Amino acid sequence: MPSIVGLLEQHERAARRRVDGLREEADRIQAELAAGAGENGSGSEGLPLRWVVILLASLIGGAAVGRAEGLGAGVTVAIALAGFLHLVMRS
């Protein structure tokens, strides 16, 4: 029978792999957005920079909280952070 510590370590390793995957995905998306902005010249037709910041910050914040507190809390924080940043950055 596996020990509690062993199960927790296994869960932590799996969570770290998910977070690493999310970070890689965020980096890939950011690179694609940067490449798309470069192709558009001034980038005026691409996604506004504030939305890139909002989406990446929400993704990273939600992943960090989700890793520590669980998926539900991570999703809630990601949504709340996106809303907050939208309000702050639109003015």
pTM for the model:
0.44
Domain count of the chain?
A: 1
Kindly give the residue spans of alpha helices, DSSP state H, lying in the chain.
4-39, 49-69, 71-90
pLDDT at 47: 67
pLDDT classification of 45: cutoffs 50, 70, 90 = low
State percent of the chain over pLDDT 70: 86
Whether residue 76 is predicted with pLDDT greater than 70 in this model: the reply is yes
| Residue 19 to residue 79: CA distance in whole angstroms | 17
Phi, psi of 16 (to 5 degrees): -65, -40
Domain holding 42, by residue range, is: 4-90
